[in-house]
Structure 1
Amino acid sequence: MLREIRIQNLGVIDDAVLELSEGLNVVSGETGAGKTMVVSGLGLLLGDRADAGRVRDGASQAVVEGFVDIPTDHPAAVRAAEAGGDVEDGLILVRSVSRQGRSRAHVGGRSAPVGVLAELGELLVAVHGQADQWRLRRPEQHRVVLDRFAGESVGGPLRRYTELYAELQDVRAEVQRLRELERDRARQVDVLRTGLEEIEAVDPQPGEDDDLRRESERLAHADGLRVAAGEAHLLVMGGDDALAAADEAGGSVADLLGRARAALAPVVGHDPQLAELDRRLQETTYAVTDVGGDLAAYQADLDVDPARLAWVGERRAALGGLLRKYGESVAEVLAWGEDAAKRLTELEGVDDRLDELQQRWAVVRAELAAVGTELSAARTEAAGRFAERVGDELAHLAMGNSRIEVAVRQHDDPDSDQALETADGRRLRCGPSGLDDVEILLAAGSGSPPRGVAKAASGGELSRLMLALELVTASGDVPTFVFDEVDAGVGGAAALEVGSRLAALARTSQVVVVTHLAQVAAFADRHLVVSKTDDGHVTASGVAPVEGEDRVRELARMLGGVADSAAALEHARELLQDSVGPKA
């Protein structure tokens, strides 16, 4: 629900704040005072196209701010949060338009594309007026309005139809994909089979390339490795052929460690610190002995095997051939092989899969045609009730001679392979929402042919028609309705009926009405008056709520143009007493 709108430097408005309430909010004021700018400002806030010509003379930019009180789980709050806005304590929207035509938008304190404001506007406010882009100008919205009115009688078949239609699109997409595979299937099969045969012939094992590289390196340097290991073994363990360096040092490392322990043995029991050093020498002796044994074993394993070296080279060459084609490592080659095997299975099974899909295609199309026919019948039945209900509302809104018709049409499409064949043999065009095009038609007079509502209705009639539609279909999805010129061309008892119907809508939704009729304003839960200063501008104090005698005087002014006329004042009091709105 809109709680507050602030408009700065828009048209004749310098700076004005509208504080709105629940129920019916009426905005009135003298001609030229800026009432229409309120609706224009709201349109900007909700994503309408920016018009730099509306920036007030002498100002650099126009700014409109709005505070919307909605729960955090409302779809508009969810969308605002997705855009990065803060919605914890309500939603703040801002739109600015510079004199150069640049436009900026902020949602919940964060900069956002203007398109986000338009998305939020569709979820928050329905604006109906002579100049606004009325949502029923989009043909698809006619169907949405009818389906909303019909409720579950259409909702049930529509859900089933939507599920089947989505499945049909999935089947169609899969058939298309498989047919594209089919075009170059033979070439792909040859490539995959050749690759799999090459990999199978070599039979690479995981990690084999790294193992062979290490073995090749060792075998190629076996002589040098053996000599180095032998010298190290002699130095550690000693022997008849110990190097001179070992002899000069008094023997092998193991001998030297033994001599050191022998020197300590007679006195080691006399000092715990020396005993600890002896223990460490013992551990070192064990470690050196182990290293010596390992060096001997390593040296023994280094037998040069030319045949093994040649085999390793050949094996690495074979693996290298695979790596050049199918991956940078054996792991990647094996992964390619797994993917290729799956792809080959899919390609070889294309014909069988296509047969299955064609059978499913036929079944889904038949089910879709049956459900689509059921959906069309439900819409046709609801269309009659809808037209009757809307006609009843129009009779209360000074449009008693108007007639509403709702056309539910199907279109033959015999040449399309995507058309659905119904039980009566017709081949009909289908879409994601059914077989039907829905259009709301209006005959503005008893002798007038029905025409599309956007063409048949004048500005005021369009607003009253939208009021009738909202009354008939009101579901609470949109929390706020705004009407401009809903009372154009009416007066007297008809104006009272318009006010009464607005008040009825306001019992379930917030309604904002710009009006010049006292008969409408008398029903307001909150009455705001727009007034301008002597220089023709609306200032910060130019929009104020009126109550009590101030409201009576405003209604009197609206009735006769003179606020202090006794007759007008009396008439105003009578209007307030007779209205279903709050009493003065």
Structure 2
Amino acid sequence: MLAEISIQNLGVIPSASAELSSGLTVLTGETGAGKTMVVTGLRLLTGGRADASRVRSGAAEAVVEGAFSTVGLGEGARERVAQLAAGAGAEEDENGEYVVTRSVKATGRSKAHLGGRTVPAATLAEVTEPLLTIHGQNDQLRLMSPDQQLAALDRFDPEIQAVLAGYREVYTEWRRAARELKERTERKLELAQEVDRLRFAIEEIDAVAPAEGEEEELVAAVNRLQDVDALREAAAGALAAIDGSEAAGALGGLSGSEEAAASTLVGQAADGLAGSSDPSLKDLGARLREVSAVLGDVSVELGGYLEALPSDPGELDRLLQRQQELKTLTRKYAPDVAGVIAWRAKAGKRLGKIDTSDGAVEKLKKRVAELEGELAARAGRLSAAREAAAEALGAAVTDELHGLAMPKARLEVHVERAAYSRDGADAVEIRLAPNTAMEAKPLSTSASGGELSRVMLALEVILSGLAGGATLVFDEVDAGVGGRAAVEIGRRLARLAANNQVIVVTHLPQVAAYADTHLHVSKNVGDEAVTSGVRSLSEAERVEELARMLAGLDDSDTGRAHAAELLSRAQREVAELRG
């Protein structure tokens, strides 16, 4: 339900807002007052196309904001709205409503916000689709589309939706298997060549057997081998200075120096100070003992380092060869070794899926045939459900049309077999006959504008009456209608509003009299600009407005009396309907 709407700088409306309640709300006003801009604002909230020409002259941008509540929606629709909103990062406000904002700059750029988050306009269309539906002149034309007519029939019977869901599962599997069979039969030679290429590549990679992180380890090892002589000389020289040339020579280091070892000299100095009677010298001796211990630790580590240095002269060549093998793989399959490993895994999976043997093809043919049989059975059940629903829908809409001043009209819903598609194997066409004696013909050739409006209203009364909780907007659905038909349209809109929020833009007092809430769009023509505002009318003001709509009789006592009688009678009917 749409709880509130505010409009700024849209067309002739500089600023207007209205709180909307459940039931039937009508918008009336003189021609050019801005009623169309209210509907335009609603279309913007539902993700409609942003038109910069709709921005009020002199304004930088137009802004429309609406607050939507999911209270009253069916559980499935409510969950769908919640999931879509959560996916967009939107949150409900403190009233449990989703605030939708759409702004259109005079330069043509537009922005959409849902629950405080910026979203694409297409997301607004998805989220508001279960919440608000607009029926206008262009929407009537969409009713002529075969897809829309099929969707209308499927909405009529919930059982169709369950059958359709099962059909779509099989259809998806059948399409996948059929595509795979076509690929295997038409591309058999090409697939065989692909198998050869994949096997060669996998064998080449497996022969090298690259390991993740190996590249970095090889670079470090090669660098060490290339500098091994200098590294050995530095480590051995340090070890010789600490422990003497004999210790360094035993580990493959340098030899030849006859100087005393640092460890020996430090030990002698420590011993010499240890026997001193002077505490200061004793303390220095203790510190030299610590130095001697550190030298011992360094000596052990230097020895280990020298032992670890490679001594095989062919090791460097082996590592360089390994680097070359890895570079061959990274040139052909991926920029680095990790990428080569990932490519190999993907190639293995692909190879496992390709089976060009005759046995595999025959197995797949059998699977496709089985799925075709299952698909045909499910399509048959779907067609049967639609045919039964078509007869019931045609009868129900025909009854509604009889009450909408089309007493002899007959609406028929025809279901014919068609090619398999995601929506089944049916083509649906809605046909209309002006009387029982004449043949029913497609809506596109048999219905006038006024008749098409009534057919659409009758369909919506039947279809929306099944679910409830949505907001339905009718933009002059009563165009080309008057007299008794107008009264009947008002009654049906009131009946539809028993379970839905209905918003109607109308010029007929017979329709406006049935409203629970009457909003008036007024126009003020100044010397430099035209402005419009929207306000809710009191009962007395409603009588004045209805009198104006009755051929401009608002300044006549007779006109006001007629309007008061019309309002009173309509409201009694509404009370009986709701009671």
- Classify the TM-score, shorter chain: 0.7 to 0.9
Given the alignment of the two structures, is residue 165 of structure 1 paired with residue 193 of structure 2, yes or no?
no
Spell out the pairing of 1:276-295 with structure 2 (5 A cutoff). 278-289=285-296, 292=299
1:508 is aligned to 499
Give the direction of change, closer, same or farther, for the CA distance of 1:281–1:348 in structure 2 (3 Å limit).
farther
Matched, 1:517 2:524: no
Per-residue deviation, 1:386: 0.7
Among 237, 260, 266, the alignment partner of 2:269 is 260
The 8 Å contact of residues 454 and 462 in structure 1, kept in 2 or not, is answered as: no
Question: What do the CA deviations read for 1:448-472 (whole angstroms, capped 9, x no partner)?
Answer: 5423334433333222222211111
Distance 1:202 1:54 in 2: 68
In 1, the alpha carbon distance for the partners of 2:185 and 2:287 equals 78
Corresponding residue for 1:532? 523
| Contact 1:459–1:485, Cα closer than 8 Å, also in 2 | no
- Which digits, 9 at most, give the CA deviation of each residue in 1:525-558, with x for residues without a partner? 0112333346598645x43322232222333333
Deviations 1:423-474 (A, max 9, x none): xxxxxx1000111111222223445542333443333322222221111111
TM-score normalised according to structure 2 size: 0.79
CA distance in 1, matches of 2:398, 2:383: 22
Residue 207 (structure 1) shift:
7.7
Q: Which residue of 2 aligns with 1:432?
A: 422
TM-score by length of structure 1 reads 0.78
- In the alignment, the residues of structure 2 paired with residue 203 and residue 83 of structure 1 have an alpha-carbon distance, to the nearest angstrom, of 45
Give the counterpart letter for 1:263 in structure 2: G
Match of 1:382 among 381, 389, 409: 389
Query: Do the aligned partners of 2:24 and 2:497 also contact (CA within 8 Å) in 1?
Result: yes
CA–CA separation in structure 2 for the residues paired with 1:469 and 1:21: 24
Q: Judging changes above 3 Å, is the alpha-carbon distance between structure 1 residues 581 and 258 closer, same or farther for their aligned structure 2 residues?
A: same
Tell me the distance in 2 between the aligned counterparts of 1:402 and 1:45: 37
Aligned letter for 2:313?
L
Amino acid at match of 2:322: L
Residue of structure 1 in register with 2:433 after alignment: 443
Of 139, 146, 155, the residue aligned with 2:146 is 139
Matched residue, 2:75: none
The aligned counterpart of 2:443 is 453
Instruction: Return 5+ residue gaps in structure 2 as ranges.
Output: 72-77
Deviations along 1:258-285, one digit per CA (max 9) or x if unpaired, are: 20221122148x74x8666555544543
| Distance (Å, rounded) in 1 between the aligned partners of 2:213 and 2:30 | 88
Residue 543 of structure 2: aligned partner: 552
- How far is the alpha carbon of 1:520 from its aligned partner? 1.9
Say whether 1:92 aligns with 2:100: yes
| Aligned partner of 1:106 among 70, 88, 112 | 112
Report the Cα distance in structure 1 between the residues aligned to 2:530 and 2:310, rounded to whole angstroms: 104
Residue 309 (str. 1) matches residue 316 (str. 2):
no
Please tell me whether residue 151 in structure 1 is matched to residue 158 in structure 2. yes
Q: Which residue of 1 aligns with 2:74?
A: none
SS in 2 for 1:364: helix
Could you tell me which of 387, 391, 408 is aligned with 2:398? 391
Structure 1 position 210, deviation (Å): 7.6
Could you say if the C-alpha distance between residues 261 and 473 of structure 1 is closer, same or farther in structure 2, counting changes exceeding 3 Å?
same
Per the alignment, residue 24 of structure 1 pairs with: 24
Give, as a single letter, the amino acid of the residue that structure 1 aligns with 2:292: T
Q: Percent identity?
A: 42
Superposition CA RMSD, Å: 4.3
Give the letter aligned to residue 322 of structure 1. E
Query: Is the 1:439–1:452 Cα contact (8 Å) retained in structure 2?
Result: yes
| Residue number in structure 2 paired with 1:418 | none
Deviations 1:266-315 (A, max 9, x none): 148x74x86665555445434534655676677788896xxx534x4664
Instruction: Give the alignment partner of residue 570 of structure 1, picking from 561, 576, 579.
Output: 561
Alpha-carbon distance, 1:38 to partner: 3.8
Q: Following the alignment from structure 1 to structure 2, what is the Cα–Cα distance between the partners of residues 31 and 301?
A: 96
| Contact 2:66/2:101 (<8 A) preserved | yes
Return 5+ residue gaps in structure 1 as ranges.
412-428
TM superposition shift of 1:225: 6.6
Question: Which piece of structure 1 moves more, 521-530 or 293-302?
Answer: 293-302
Distance apart, 1:348 and its partner CA: 6.0
Kept after mapping to 1: 8 A contact 2:50/2:110: no
**Alpha-carbon offset, residue 165 of structure 1:** 1.0
* In structure 2, distance between residues paired with 1:49 and 1:293: 79
Q: SS of 2:503's equivalent?
A: strand
Change in CA separation of 1:106 and 1:231 when aligned onto 2, cut-off 3 Å = closer
Once the two structures are TM-superposed, the CA of residue 163 in structure 1 deviates from its matched residue by 0.8
- Which position in structure 2 is the counterpart of 1:367? 374
Query: Between Structure 1 and Structure 2, how many residues are aligned?
Result: 552
- Separation of aligned partners in 1, 2:452 and 2:181: 47
| Structure 2 residue 112 is the aligned partner of structure 1 residue 126 | no
Return the alpha-carbon distance in structure 2 between the equivalents of residues 329 and 491 of structure 1.
77
1:324-339 pair list within 5 angstroms = 324-327=327-330
Cα distance in 2 for residues equivalent to 1:549 and 1:19: 20
Which letter maps to 1:94? R
Read off the aligned partner of 1:68 and give its amino acid letter. Answer: A
The 10-residue stretch of structure 1 (365-374 or 255-264) with the greater mean CA deviation from structure 2: 255-264
Say if 1:443 and 1:456, in contact at 8 Å, map to a contact too. yes
| Larger mean Cα displacement after TM superposition, 385-394 or 488-497 | 488-497
Give, in angstroms, the shift of residue 15 of structure 1: 4.9
What residue is the counterpart of 2:326 in the other structure? Answer: 323
Is the Cα contact below 8 Å between 2:521 and 2:534 reproduced in 1? Answer: yes
Helix, strand or coil for the counterpart of 1:259? Answer: helix
